[in-house]
Chain A
Amino acid sequence: MEISFNGKPRELPQSISIQELLDQLQLDCLQVVVEHNRNIVTRQRLAEIHLHHGDTLEVIHFVGGG
């Protein structure tokens, strides 16, 4: 299946969860904000939500400093 990942098409295996995808990409869920189909997903739900063909996912990585 194909999803839109940060604005670009990306091929993924069926029924992968957002958490599994973040793990594959070695992204620390404590430092990213995830928007799935235009809704911001809280950390607790990353493992529950499975991606489907045509989904839109934005992963915004934050760095420290302010």
Chain B
Amino acid sequence: MQIKINEQNYTLDDHLSAGEVRDRIKADADLLIVNGFPVSPDTLLRDGDLLILIRRGEIPGADELDALLTARHTPGVHGVVKQSTVGIAGVGGLGSAIAIALARTGIGHLIIADFDVVEPSNLNRQQYFIDQIGMPKVYALRDTLARINPQARVTAAHLRLTSANLSEVFGHAQVLVEAFDLAEQKVMLVETFAARFPDRPIVTGSGMAGYGPANTIQTHRVAGSLYLCGDGATAAAPGTGLMAPRVGVAAHHQANAVLRLLLGCDPVSEKA
């Protein structure tokens, strides 16, 4: 049988178990993953299987890292997403969480843009750290993403996005994520990008303030290739703050919508 072990091709006898193969190839591995799912050593392997052997606590070399980082992905996903470019406009509570989710998913190229610097009141919901206070958010986030997945290419644009520069900054983005704070900025982004690139999907966030039920946050298709994640109504306002749980729910709706679009699936329904 032909199987792949840590991204290398092997031809092995039939009817071998994952544990027997582990003993031959990487005897000290204590985590065995077949086709994206951890298995026991006595699991029989079949032709075409993808086997990942990991020794817990060992930091892999660069050549193996890509395979090991994506060992739990559904097979077939990584090959598509690593060829993809996604733009993220604004890296506050939504954008920083979306960027991290997409880097973990193995998106090949992320373009992140924001003018702001990390300040203490961001830390209640945004994916930054105390030792990053004062840094431009795009550079702080680029550092964090490199610690998670050095294979993900990150283009960091420290600037204020306007209708004049937006299409240039995100010219290579197949999908654009809107992750701004102000409603007027959200509208500006959608109008500008849709006018320039009418066929490219835009995934927006609207309505995730407060601590209302998480279940009111949904993904909707609101126009041709325009998607909206959120409850559509709960604005950040005096008396209604932005907090990590609901902002995180909305951000991950957006990240999952991006992933589904890249894989050719409808973000809203089960159909492919």
Residues on A facing B (Cβ under 8 Å): 30-33, 35, 38-43, 58, 60-66
Contact = CB atoms under 8 A, between A and B. Distances in A.
A60 B227 CA distance: 10
B162 to A, nearest CB: 14
Contact of B187 (A33, A39, A58, A65): A33
Given A38-B223, A60-B222, A60-B226, A66 B93 contact: yes
A36 to B, nearest CB: 10
B187 A30 contact: yes
Contacts of A41: 191
Counting from the closest, the 7 A-B pairs by CB-CB distance are A65-B236, A63-B235, A35-B223, A40-B194, A62-B183, A31-B183, A65-B209
Interface of B: 90, 92-95, 179-184, 186-187, 190-192, 194-195, 198, 204-209, 222-224, 226, 228, 230, 232-237, 242, 247
A41 to B, nearest CB: 8
Contact of B182 (A38, A42, A43, A64): A64
B205 A66 contact: yes
A27 to B, nearest CB: 11
6 contacts: A35-B222, A40-B195, A63-B230, A64-B235, A65-B207, A66-B93
A3 to B, nearest CB: 15
Contacts of A66: 90, 92-95, 179-181, 186, 205, 208, 242, 247
B187 A32 contact: yes
A60 B190 CA distance: 11
A33 B92 contact: no
Contacts of B222: 33, 35, 58, 60
Contacts of A40: 190-191, 194-195, 198, 223-224, 226
Contacts of A64: 181-183, 235-237
Nearest to A38: B224
Nearest to B240: A65
Max chain A C-beta neighbours (<10 A), residue from B182, B195, B223, B237 = B223
Given A32-B187, A66-B93, 17 more contacts: A33-B191, A38-B223, A39-B198, A40-B190, A40-B194, A41-B191, A43-B191, A60-B222, A60-B226, A62-B187, A62-B204, A64-B181, A64-B237, A65-B206, A66-B95, A66-B179, A66-B205
Nearest to B222: A60
